[in-house]
């Protein structure tokens, strides 16, 4: 099967995303993207056990040092960001070094932030190993760590040299993580490409069964859509890139209210997209049959379509502290038909309350 190549036209640095099977076995990957300086690979415990030896084998004689972080959000703690920087300093890495992240979005975010800071920015190569990381977090240059004041509150924009998505590694991903990644794939159809939604409706089962060609297509089309948006609004300043957060304000409120770790991010985004769609129906921007279509697709992919019994007041309180809000007003990404979405604060608070309390359906 051929490797797909998508260019990300970020104004600060354009770079490719390669998508296909077997990429982790190709020595050209490091030859092409890694400069003459030292290499440090940052990964997490589970991924290290599965794939780190493949990466060090690729490096061959030139050597590749590694640092293993905990799995999941724990890796995005300032202590682990500091560990990466200390290791880089102890290895006496210079500006020509390359930091490689091998793992999910958590490893990618913390390693990317270290790459943005060490010597004011060094080369960074992303080898994402979750579906969510391949279709979303590895592309676009957002890097971050969590603090006690909030998730992703401290970070930087730092584009990678390249993103290498080996779709074979998705075979070891737990089912729940695969489905969470599919929520972000559906997001791209909902915000930018109704035809892609139709393709997902036809190929949902094959994706759940990890059909290689279907996975490659789903990653490629998702990356194409994200790449185009990043090219238009790299630094998330015009409102264009904000559409990538469709479902996320509701989703973050769900994650926060339920307690971090109870819901996977993608699961909360799936329910959040359905809630945003219900609000858009109430506002007359989406037809009921379009909202039902989105919900059916997400449910068929094994994803939640509502916030369960979470308290509406607590959800609204969490939404009031969202980063996208302006002048004390909640701003949300709402669909305008399927395949289109916008950032807006122009909706009825009564309609929002009805959605949060489960009264809108
Ligand atoms: P994750 O990084 O926690 O990975 C999920 C789990 O899967 C981990 O336990 C990991 O060790 C394991 N894993 C990873 N690859 C595996 C594989 N191939 N086989 C078996 N197990 C594997 O979660 P995630 O969903 O990849 O990323 C979530 C993070 O991404 C969040 O912190 C979120 O804020 C961030 N994010 C960032 C951006 C961005 O633009 N920077 C966008 C979306 C999400
Ligand atoms: N995941 C949202 C963004 O990259 O802007």
Digit-coded pLDDT (tens) for 83-139 = 999 999 999 999 999 999 999 999 999 999 999 999 999 999 999 999 999 999 999
Ligand 1 center to 9 CA (angstroms): 24
> Can you tell me the distance from the alpha carbon of 120 to that of 114, in angstroms, rounded to the nearest whole number?
9
Atom of ligand 2 nearest to the CA of 244: 2
At the top level of CATH, the class of 4-172 is: alpha beta
User: Which residues form ligand 2's pocket by a CB distance below 6 Å?
Assistant: 136, 140, 142, 236, 241, 244-245
Superfamily of domain 175-357: Dehydroquinate synthase-like - alpha domain (1.20.1090.10)
CB of 187 within 6 A of ligand 1: the answer is: no
* Confidence band for 360, pLDDT divided at 50, 70 and 90: confident
Please list the alpha-helical segments (H only) found in 68-174. Answer: 78-90, 105-117, 131-132
Mean pLDDT, the chain, as a whole number? 95
For the beta carbon of residue 258, count every other beta carbon within 10 angstroms: 18
- Distance from residue 11's CA to the centre of ligand 1 (Å): 26
What does each C-alpha distance from 232 to 89, 140, 301 come to in angstroms?
A: 36, 11, 31
- Express as a percent the part of the chain with pLDDT over 70: 100
Domain extent listing, the chain: 4-172, 175-357
Which protein residue's CA is at the shortest distance from atom 4 of ligand 2? 140
Residue 46 Cβ inside 6 Å of ligand 1? The answer reads: yes
Residue 135 near residue 222 (C-beta atoms within 8 A): yes
Helix axes 312-320 and 349-356, enclosed angle (nearest 10): 130
Task: Tell me the CA distances in angstroms from 66 to 43, 44, 100, 242, 335, one per residue in order.
Answer: 8, 10, 9, 34, 43
For residue 13, the CA-to-ligand 1 centroid distance in Å is: 24
Rounded CA-CA distance 142/224 in Å is 17
Q: How distant, in Å, are the alpha carbons of 172, 202, 208 from that of 303? A: 20, 17, 12
pLDDT average, residue stretch 63-71: 95
Of ligand 1's listed atoms, the one at least distance from the Cα of 130 is 15
| C-alpha closest to that of 254 among 343, 319, 191, 302 | 319
Nearest to residue 75, comparing CAs of 95, 47, 55? Answer: 47
């Amino acid at each position: 099967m051929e490797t797909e190549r998508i260019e990300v036209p970020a104004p600060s640095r354009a770079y490719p995303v390669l998508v296909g099977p077997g990429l982790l076995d190709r020595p050209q990957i490091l030859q092409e993207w890694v400069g003459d300086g030292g290499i440090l690979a940052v990964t997490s415990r589970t991924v290290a056990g599965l794939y780190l030896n493949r990466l060090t084998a690729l490096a061959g004689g030139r050597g590749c040092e590694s640092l293993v972080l905990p799995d999941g959000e724990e890796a995005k703690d300032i202590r682990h960001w500091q560990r990466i920087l200390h290791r880089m300093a102890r290895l006496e890495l210079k500006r020509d070094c390359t930091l490689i992240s091998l793992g999910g979005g958590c490893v990618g975010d913390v390693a990317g932030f270290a790459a943005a800071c060490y010597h004011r920015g060094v080369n960074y190569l992303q080898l994402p190993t979750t579906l969510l990381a391949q279709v979303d977090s590895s592309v676009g240059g957002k890097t971050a760590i969590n603090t006690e004041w909030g998730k992703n509150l401290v970070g930087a924009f730092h584009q990678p040299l390249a993103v290498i998505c080996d779709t074979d590694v998705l075979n070891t991903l737990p089912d729940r993580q695969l489905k969470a990644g599919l929520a972000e794939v559906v997001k791209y159809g909902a915000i930018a490409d109704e035809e892609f939604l139709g393709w997902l409706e036809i190929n949902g089962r094959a994706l759940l069964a990890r059909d290689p060609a279907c996975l490659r297509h789903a990653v490629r089309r998702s990356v194409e859509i994200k790449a185009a948006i990043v090219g238009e609004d790299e630094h998330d300043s015009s409102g264009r890139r904000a559409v990538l957060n469709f479902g996320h304000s509701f989703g973050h409120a769900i994650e926060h209210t339920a307690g971090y770790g109870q819901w996977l991010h993608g699961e909360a985004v799936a329910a959040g997209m359905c809630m945003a769609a219900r609000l858009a129906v109430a506002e007359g921007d989406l037809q009921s049959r379009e909202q039902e279509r989105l919900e059916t697709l997400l449910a068929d992919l094994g994803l939640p379509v509502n916030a369960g019994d979470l308290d509406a007041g607590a959800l609204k309180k969490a939404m009031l502290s969202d980063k996208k809000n302006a002048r004390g007003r909640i701003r949300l990404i709402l669909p305008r038909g399927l395949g289109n979405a916008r950032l807006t604060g122009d909706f009825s608070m009564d309609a929002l309350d009805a959605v949060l309390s489960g009264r809108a359906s």
